[in-house]
């Protein structure tokens, strides 16, 4: 049913047009307006599919009313009606947003066909825009896995600080997933006490959706959400790759960024995370055991047909004091280091022991600035700027509301 608002200041004209429309089963006049102001108020209230708008009305005329409705009730299409056939009137009507222009008196077929054609074209436009918006939104949403096949390289510390930075400095809605299912430390790094974990998510997976996933997440003070690892190592056995896939799909729909701290193995759960990631941050260090493991990781990822641009090599605890040079590492791996995270034992140890990320406690430290550079590898600049502006506007609005 095409819902129509009929706006004309002459009652007899409205009655005649309404009589023609009601001969059609799929058209319905749901309201009438006697002037432009009345048309604006009723359009905002009932949001019709079509407004049949007379151009000459008292108070606010059809041109001005059309401009307001086109701007403030975007889902409504307007067909202008007029006894004037001059091009100037037609041009003005189209400039303010009218979709069609009918010259009075018009015949039954002309009226009905115009209404249906305008509605059909608008429906197609909305479908196209909806598809484009969904695709554009999906492009901006990213899953990033932080991975290493060797422990002790600072993987969890980097994942935690990266997620906190994305949420706090970039204004991106971020969730941090602890997928080290047996010995995850994300909650410890953030001084959080898990009341609910990924085990609960798996148990309730059938009823889980983007609308209720927040009920299963821990909240960090800056707005970051955290999906904690199981409380007991044996609970990891009940979680499989298919369940991880479903969890990622839900989180990806709910959040801008999903940061996954993986386990140090190519397990079914970890491979699922890596497969579903837009980017993989592979953590390396300048010691021979780590370099050997990183080389093996890169070989496995090549065999998995991961494109080279999907993998970002992150050199943690980068220092010139170590005997192995960065060039030696790159030559050995045949892979370039994308970002260097400097060594700073004092800051990182304090951050771990206090459960306070160093990007929060020491935002001006060199290591924190390099986490910001790491975030820049992930974030589209235009997207970040848009989010930053949105956050600023929200703060201003909240301030103004509180002042009132």
Domains 2-135 and 141-389 share a fold: yes
Domain range summary for the chain, segments of one domain joined by +: 2-135, 141-389
403 has pLDDT over 80: no
CA distances from 271 to 46, 262, 328, 351, 372 (A): 51, 9, 29, 30, 27
Average pLDDT over residues 382-386: 45
89 has pLDDT over 90: no
Residue 389's pLDDT is what? 47
Residue 380's pLDDT is what? 61
* Residue carrying the six token digits 């006697």: 34
| Helix or strand (DSSP H, E) at 81 | strand 77-82
Which 3 state secondary structure label does DSSP give 363? coil
Residue 78 bridge partners (DSSP): 51
Interior/surface letters 193-209, b for 16+ CB within 10 angstroms, e for the rest? ebeebbbbbbeeeeebe
- Angle formed by the axes of helices 62-72 and 36-46, nearest 10°: 20
Residue 80 bridge partners (DSSP): 53, 101
User: Do 348 and 311 form a contact (C-beta atoms < 8 A)?
Assistant: no
325 has pLDDT over 90: no
Please tell me the chain's helix, strand, coil percentages from 3-state DSSP, rounded to the nearest 5. 50, 15, 30
Residue 124's pLDDT is what? 78
How many angstroms separate the CA atoms of 62 and 35, rounded?
Answer: 8
With respect to CATH, is domain 2-135 assigned 3.30.465.10?
Answer: no
Range name among 25-29, 274-278, 346-350, 393-397 with the lowest pLDDT average: 393-397
Name the residue among 272, 218, 210 with its Cα closest to residue 243.
Answer: 272
How many angstroms separate the CA atoms of 8 and 203, rounded?
Answer: 60
Give the N- to C-terminal CA distance of the chain in Å, as an integer.
43
Which 3 state secondary structure label does DSSP give 52? strand
User: Do 341 and 316 form a contact (C-beta atoms < 8 A)?
Assistant: yes
The predicted-structure confidence for 254-309, as pLDDT tens digits, reads as follows 999 999 999 988 888 999 999 999 999 999 888 888 888 888 888 888 888 888 88
Residue 5 bridge partners (DSSP): 31, 51
* Residue carrying the six token digits 């989180």: 251
Higher per-residue pLDDT: 274 or 382: 274
* Residue carrying the six token digits 């010691």: 287
| Residue 105, preceding peptide bond in cis (omega within 30° of 0) | yes
Within the chain, how many helices (H) and strands (E) appear? 16, 13
If you average pLDDT over every residue of the chain, what do you get? 85
Which 3 state secondary structure label does DSSP give 28? strand
Residue 251's pLDDT is what? 94
Residue 101 bridge partners (DSSP): 80
Residue 153's pLDDT is what? 87
User: Do 247 and 221 form a contact (C-beta atoms < 8 A)?
Assistant: no
Higher per-residue pLDDT: 132 or 241: 241
pLDDT band at 196 (very low <50, low <70, confident <90, very high): very high
* Percent of the chain residues past pLDDT 90, beyond the cut: 46
6 has pLDDT over 50: yes
Question: What is the CATH superfamily name and number for domain 141-389?
Answer: P-loop containing nucleotide triphosphate hydrolases (3.40.50.300)
Name the residue among 218, 199, 208 with its Cα closest to residue 246.
Answer: 208
User: Do 371 and 165 form a contact (C-beta atoms < 8 A)?
Assistant: yes
The predicted-structure confidence for 172-186, as pLDDT tens digits, reads as follows 889 999 999 999 999
Give 262-293 as a DSSP string: E-SS--HHHHHHHHT-SEEEEEE-SSHHHHHH
Average pLDDT over residues 367-374: 91
Residue 382's pLDDT is what? 44
The predicted-structure confidence for 125-151, as pLDDT tens digits, reads as follows 776 655 544 444 444 558 999 998 888
The predicted-structure confidence for 22-42, as pLDDT tens digits, reads as follows 899 999 999 999 999 999 999
66 has pLDDT over 80: yes
How many angstroms separate the CA atoms of 95 and 80, rounded?
Answer: 12
Residue 383's pLDDT is what? 47
């Amino acid at each position: 049913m095409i819902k129509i608002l009929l706006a004309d200041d002459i009652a007899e004209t409205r009655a005649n047009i309404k009589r023609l429309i009601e001969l059609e089963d799929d058209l319905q006049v749901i309201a009438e307006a006697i002037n432009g102001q009345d048309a604006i108020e009723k359009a905002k209230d009932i949001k019709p599919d079509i407004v049949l708008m007379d151009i000459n009305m008292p108070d606010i005329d059809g041109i001005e009313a059309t401009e307001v409705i086109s701007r403030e009730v975007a889902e409504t299409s307007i067909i202008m009606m007029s006894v004037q056939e001059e091009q100037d009137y037609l041009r003005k009507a189209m400039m303010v947003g009218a979709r069609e222009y009918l010259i009075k008196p018009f015949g039954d077929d002309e009226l009905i066909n115009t209404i249906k054609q305008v509605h059909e074209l608008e429906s197609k436009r909305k479908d196209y825009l909806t598809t484009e918006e969904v695709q554009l939104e999906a492009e901006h949403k990213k899953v990033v896995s932080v991975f290493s096949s060797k422990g002790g390289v600072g993987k969890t510390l980097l994942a935690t600080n990266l997620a906190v930075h994305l949420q706090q400095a970039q204004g991106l809605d971020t969730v941090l997933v602890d997928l080290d299912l047996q010995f995850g430390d994300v909650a410890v790094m953030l001084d959080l006490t898990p009341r609910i974990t990924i085990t609960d998510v798996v148990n309730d997976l059938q009823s889980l959706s983007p609308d209720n996933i927040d009920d299963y997440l821990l909240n960090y003070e800056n707005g970051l959400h955290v999906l904690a690892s199981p409380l007991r190592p044996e609970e990891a056995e009940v979680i499989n790759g298919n369940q991880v896939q479903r969890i990622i799909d839900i989180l990806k729909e709910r959040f801008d960024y999903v940061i996954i701290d993986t386990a140090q193995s190519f397990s079914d759960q970890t491979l699922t995370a890596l497969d579903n990631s837009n980017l993989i941050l592979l953590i390396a260090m300048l010691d021979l055991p780590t370099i050997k493991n990183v080389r093996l990781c890169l070989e496995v990822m090549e065999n998995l047909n991961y494109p080279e641009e999907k993998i970002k090599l992150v050199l943690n605890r980068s220092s010139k004091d170590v005997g192995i040079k960065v060039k030696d590492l790159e030559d050995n791996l045949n892979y370039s280091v994308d970002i260097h995270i400097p060594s700073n034992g004092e800051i990182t140890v304090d951050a771990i022991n206090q459960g306070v990320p160093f990007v929060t406690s020491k935002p001006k430290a060199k290591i924190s600035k390099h986490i910001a550079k790491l975030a820049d590898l992930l974030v589209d600049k235009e997207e970040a700027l848009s989010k930053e502006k949105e956050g600023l506007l929200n703060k201003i609005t909240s301030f103004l509301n509180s002042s009132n």
